[in-house]
Amino acid sequence: MIKFNSVVDLHYSISNLEGVEFESTFDSKPIKVKIGDGQIPQKLEITLYGLKQNSEQTMTLDPADAFGIRDTNKVKAVKKSAFPNQEMIKKDNVIEIDVKENGGETNVAFAMIKQINADDVILDLNHPLAGQKIMFKVKIIKIYE
């Protein structure tokens, strides 16, 4: 039975309420997670407590409990000249960028190119599923005691 600090192999899928699947491990290898280490959103983790091997569960999560509410502060204009490779500048491309945090620390983030203007590019650093309700389906494959 799953409890805090359990290590679990599981399959999962994430889809929107229209059934469009964004991510799934059901056609590949299961992932291994340690319950309580923050690998998966806390709201999802809580629903796994008490499940047994071969259990399946589907739940709907509000945006705040899944990938967050869309944050307009995460939409930024960046000069085209800041891009090392101009060929990467294509609408809807997801790119990896360095983001300077408030403490001066630099972290890697993913951003989607939303708009291309004459001199700059509009990037959206929100998670692609931010602001959306999602369906989370899980099947417990193995629980390591």
pTM here is: 0.70
The sign of the torsion formed by the CA atoms of 5, 60, 125, 76 equals negative
Task: Give the phi and the psi of residue 91 in degrees, each rounded to 5.
Answer: -55, 135
One domain, residues 62 and 77: no
2, part of any domain? no
Q: Is the pLDDT of residue 127 over 90?
A: no
Q: Which amino acid is it at 46?
A: I
CA distance 68 to 103: 22
114, part of any domain? yes
Q: What number is the average pLDDT over the span 123-127?
A: 93
Residue 125 is predicted with a pLDDT of 93
17, part of any domain? yes
Residue 6 is predicted with a pLDDT of 96
Residue 66 is predicted with a pLDDT of 85
User: Which domain covers residue 107, as residue numbers?
Assistant: 72-124
CATH number for the domain including 16? 3.10.50.40
- Percent of the chain scored above 90 by pLDDT? 66
pLDDT digits (tens, 9 = 90+) for 43-102: 888 889 999 999 999 999 999 988 889 999 999 999 999 888 888 899 999 898 888 777
Residue 63 is predicted with a pLDDT of 93
One domain, residues 35 and 53: yes
1, part of any domain? no
- Percent of the chain scored above 70 by pLDDT? 100
One domain, residues 56 and 83: no
57, part of any domain? yes
One domain, residues 45 and 88: no
Q: Is the pLDDT of residue 120 over 90?
A: yes
One domain, residues 96 and 112: yes
CATH number for the domain including 102? 2.40.10
- Closest listed residue to residue 34, CA positions, set 68, 58, 1, 2: 2
